[in-house]
Amino acid sequence: MTGIEYLLEFDSDARSITVYAENPTNRSQQAGIVISTDNRTMHSSDFRLSGGEVWNKTLQIEASLDALRDSHVVRVSTYGATRAFEFDYEIDPESSTTVPTPYIADTTVTRGTIDGEPSTVVNITVVNPSVQQYPTKLMVHTQGTDGSFYAAIVPTGESETVTVELLDDPETVVVGEARLYAGRLNRSSGGIDQVGFRGEVNGSTSTWNESYRAVEGPWSENPYRYDNASVGSDSVLPEQVESGPTVRGIPVVLLLAIAASVAGLLLVRRR
């Protein structure tokens, strides 16, 4: 629209894009570009070019890609024009060293309050170093909790601590695992991070990295149950054993029909 001429060069193997801008007129003109990768803005520039001036910039785009996608789009927009480049590039969101993805940074077993009631909880801090915002979720299993589910969508470049309710007796050692994933829990393609942890309410918590393993959710016919041979199986509070499977007081049978739309806390008590 302003008379600036642009040339774009995209290298899918190197995951880089070079933008050239030239002002062929004899007067100063406003120029600008916006570059987005997988629908997220990664770069924006506004500048003026004098008559006959040439400007160029090369950017690496790999770090800004969406790690959950195999097909990617790089889009360059200027005043009045847009061009897009599509390419295939498979990324392992759990172990990529070049594409940053959310991860579990800290895990602490403690005593907390859920809906006004005291409860054993685990505070899990999730960090998102990416320019992408991922629809991440947390699922926590322990010896005494057969699945505690929370949404954990962290804004780009930020961190968030999620307090996860557990059914474990506060007087016992709490051992379990936390899964950070997107999509479906029983599909490994959505796995992003997994850690194991062992802690006490009034003590310290130790953690270790684990390879992500897809499991069946507590709403399924054959739900996954965590077990650790080094810890006894009496970590559930006695009054919770006879109450049966519930999700915040709602029978699991009812929730099976709406499991796909669950957006809040999901806590399944072990039988």
What's the confidence (pLDDT) of residue 70? 95
DSSP letters along 223-267, please?
Answer: ------TTS-S--B-HHHHTT-SEETTEEHHHHHTTGGG--S-EE
The pLDDT of residue 232 is: 57
The C-alpha atoms of residue 27 and residue 8 are separated, in whole angstroms, by 23
- Which residues are paired to 11 by β-bridges? 16
- Predicted confidence at residue 231, as pLDDT, reads 67
Q: Over 112-158, what HEC string results?
A: EEECCEEEEEEEEEEEECCCCCCCCEEEEEECCCCCEEEECCCCCCE
Q: Name the residue with higher pLDDT: 260 or 113.
A: 113
Task: Specify the pLDDT at position 271.
Answer: 32
- Residue 259 pLDDT greater than 90, yes or no: no
SS3 49: strand
Q: What is the mean pLDDT of residues 40-67?
A: 96
Q: Encode pLDDT of 101-150 as tens digits.
A: 999 999 999 999 989 999 999 999 999 999 999 999 999 999 999 999 99
The amino acid that residue 26 corresponds to is N
What's residue 171's pLDDT?
A: 92
pTM: 0.81
- In angstroms, rounded to a whole number, what is the distance separating the alpha carbons of residues 109 and 250? 26
| pLDDT value of residue 127 | 98
267 has a pLDDT exceeding 50: no
Mean pLDDT, the chain, integer: 87
What is the percentage of the chain residues whose pLDDT exceeds 90? 78
